[in-house]
Amino acid sequence: MTAAPARILETQALTARYGHVQALSAADIHVCAGELVAVLGPNGAGKSTLLRAILGLASTTGTASFHGEPLPRQDPVAVSSRGVVLVPEGRGIFGPMTVSENLQLGAYRLRGDKAEYGRRLARVLALFPRLGERLSQTAGSMSGGEQQMLAIGRALMSDPKILLLDEPSLGLAPRVIAEIMEKLALLRDEGLPILLVEQKAPAALKLAQRAYVLVLGRIVACLDPRDLSSHDDLAKYYFH
């Protein structure tokens, strides 16, 4: 009998509110070492809120823990310093700044260690060679796909222990989505745990070892993508 893989990230009864509106209800999820876990669901299901709640950007009850230690609540700086790094919805790149400056900000906590900075930059540019060609270009002037690459590259510059990705396919052409997903598969294969929130379920299910389905703020299913034979298998949860 093999031992169950270690749980890197775990939430227990994680609930989030925006004022009087409860956007997430008692969510229990976990991500194991080296795993890519997808969170699927229709628009407004609370997927982005789940990531914001883990990071401490939303008002929450319940717990979120990383490597067994509870993550601080309402303190995203402390959470990200543990290596829990979010690539936000809409990419959140710093448009007026150059690609190089955006990447430097990714390594914000790295104070003056040039060798380590160079190592991280080389890794990012090896993964996304196109960023290397655009280092002195303003980030806002790049295409949507390149901006998404930059957003992921910038997150990698902080040497994350787990990556939280919010809708990386948003507004991108299918060819570009395939390219981004291919890069995420590479990161997964390198052993980086990823929690991927995605509306485009087929693309996410190709990569994920497990998938949670979130509807109206509640986790309604935890699936093994290999068990899904057709879109209808997934659709039934959306109309739960």
Partner 1 sequence: MTLPNTTSTERAGLLLRAWPLQLLPWAVSAAIVGYAFIVGGYVATVIAFALVYVVFVTGLNLFMGFANQVSFGQNAFAGLGGYASAILTTTYNWPVLPAMIAGIVLAVVIALIIGYPTLRLKGHYLAMATLAIGLITYEIAVEWQSMTQGYLGISGIPPLGIGSYEIISDRGQLAILSIVALLAVFIAARIKSSRMGRAFLALGASENAALALGINVSRTKLIAFLTAAAFAALAGALFVHVVGYVSPEVFGLHMVILGFTMLYVGGIGSIAGPLIGALLISLLPEVLRGFKDYQDLFYGTALILLLIYAPRGLAAFFERRERTGSAS
Binding site for partner 1 (CB under 8 A): 55, 57, 76-77, 80-81, 85-88, 92-98, 101, 104-106, 108-109, 111, 121-122, 125-126, 129, 132-138, 141-143, 146, 154-155, 158
Taking phi over 0 as left and psi of -120 to 50 as alpha, with beta for the rest, 5 belongs to beta
Q: Does an H or E element contain 62, and which?
A: strand 59-66
Longest dimension (CA), the chain: 55
Q: Least separation, in Å, of the C-beta of 76 and partner 1? A: 4
68 vs 96, beta carbon nearer partner 1: 96
Q: Least separation, in Å, of the C-beta of 149 and partner 1? A: 13
Q: Least separation, in Å, of the C-beta of 156 and partner 1? A: 12
Query: CA–CA separation, 100 vs 94, rounded Å?
Result: 11
Q: Least separation, in Å, of the C-beta of 105 and partner 1? A: 5
28 vs 75, beta carbon nearer partner 1: 75
Give 3-31 as a DSSP string: PPPPEEEEEEEEEEEETTEEEEEEEEEEE
162 vs 201, beta carbon nearer partner 1: 162
Query: CA–CA separation, 166 vs 199, rounded Å?
Result: 9
86 vs 196, beta carbon nearer partner 1: 86
